[in-house]
Amino acid sequence: MSLKLGVIGTGAIGQDHIRRCSQTLLNSQVVAVTDINLEQAAKVVADLQIAAEVYPHGHALINSPQVEAVLVTSWGPSHEEFVLAAIAAGKPVFCEKPLAVTADGCRKIVEAELAHGKRLVQVGFMRPYDEGYRALKRVIDSGQIGEPLMLHCAHRNPRVGENYKTDMAITDTLIHELDVLRWLLNDDYVSVQVVFPRKTSKALAHLRDPQIVLLETAKGTRIDVEVFVNCQYGYDIQCEVVGETGIARLPEPSQVQLRSEAKLSNAILMDWKDRFIGAYDVELQAFIDGVRVGQVGGPSAWDGYAAAVAADACIEAQGSGQIVKIGLAPRPHFYD
């Protein structure tokens, strides 16, 4: 039997997930949608030709007996409210990042889930579902390179628009590394420092770009992440793990090798949407499969909370130029 999903928020990412659940994934169907703009919600249902009811608001959708699990893809500031409502209704909920716009908000969700006594929440961090990161984790976990000591990472975009502000380098860009590197290392961050190199002339006046974020983990591993969102040449994600006996590097996306015009070359992607497109499918299928067998997995509310705490510290470090502690509460055994 297909899992009956309700989707709150029918913007770009919501539409993507609705189409994914309706056309690409196994054992799922979207039976309910809602949006702050109900006309648009109705239009999405019509355009995608799905048999889904349009609900007047998120709470009605969550509490509908038709809906077995909820996807929250609405405006970030509304996530906390809907996730808490889903937990209150005892329904599994997949929430796009951020889980909540504040660490406190995330904490409340963690506590609600703890009180419920069983995992209901999966946060929409897709990189742990990327085949490249998974292969990298297998190498680390195999012991082939010994204990990880340092990570050298980069997150580069060709360019960003006017509404991209300096702190979005953390909340919109680095946030993916904040999540995936904890998972990759099975470790937590304890401090962060941000340094600002010479600014690229390609960035708009209000934006400090590039930035280098220096993280330290509980085990002492040091991570440097270059965030460079006007690098011009491509959307490029790099992750190199330096271990005691060797170094492992995230695979480049597979490409045809060309000899042409005095160059031996492989294409670099320009659009971020192409980079992790497969991971979105795997991530959401995992949620669906998890719900169907009664075991929600993947990035947890705790992971969402940890990313939020780290992000707050990063933003403080952007402002102060100092080394900022990252003080995570002790992890409840529930999330082990």
State the minimum distance, in angstroms, from the CB of residue 297 to its own copies. 18
> Which of 210, 202, 212 shows the shortest CA–CA distance to 161?
202
CB atoms within 10 A of CB 60: 14
- Binding part of the chain for its own copies, among 54-62, 74-82, 103-111, 191-199 by CB under 8 A, reads 191-199
Q: Which of 50, 139, 282, 328 binds its own copies (CB under 8 A)?
A: 139
Phi (first) and psi of residue 149, to 5 degrees: -115, -35
**Per CB under 8 A, does 141 bind its own copies?**
no
Q: Which residues contact 73 (CB under 8 A, 6 or more apart)?
A: 7, 8, 9, 10, 11, 13, 14, 17, 96
**Per CB under 8 A, does 319 bind its own copies?**
no
- Binding part of the chain for its own copies, among 60-68, 115-123, 242-250, 308-316 by CB under 8 A, reads 242-250
- Torsion angle, alpha carbons of 225, 327, 106, 155, to 10: 0
To 5 degrees, how large is the angle CA 130–CA 135–CA 139? 150
Beta bridge partners of 122: 94
CA distance 90 to 8: 17
**Per CB under 8 A, does 49 bind its own copies?**
no
* Residue whose pair of structure tokens reads 């402002």 in the numeric block: 319
Q: Which of 1, 51, 205, 264 binds its own copies (CB under 8 A)?
A: 264
Nearer to its own copies, 251 or 327 (CB): 251
**Per CB under 8 A, does 201 bind its own copies?**
yes
And the tokens for 295? 């075991």
To 5 degrees, how large is the angle CA 310–CA 131–CA 260? 110
State the minimum distance, in angstroms, from the CB of residue 49 to its own copies. 14
Applying the rule CB under 8 A, the residues between 8 and 37 that interact with its own copies are 23-26
**Per CB under 8 A, does 202 bind its own copies?**
yes
Question: Pattern 109-138, binding to its own copies, x per CB under 8 A?
Answer: ----------------------xx--xx-x
**Per CB under 8 A, does 220 bind its own copies?**
yes
Peptide bond into 98 cis (omega under 30): yes
- Binding part of the chain for its own copies, among 8-16, 253-261, 298-306, 310-318 by CB under 8 A, reads 253-261
Q: Which residues bind its own copies (CB under 8 A)?
A: 23-26, 131-132, 135-136, 138-139, 144-147, 149-150, 152, 195, 197-202, 210, 212, 214, 216, 219-222, 224, 226, 228, 231-234, 236, 242, 244-270
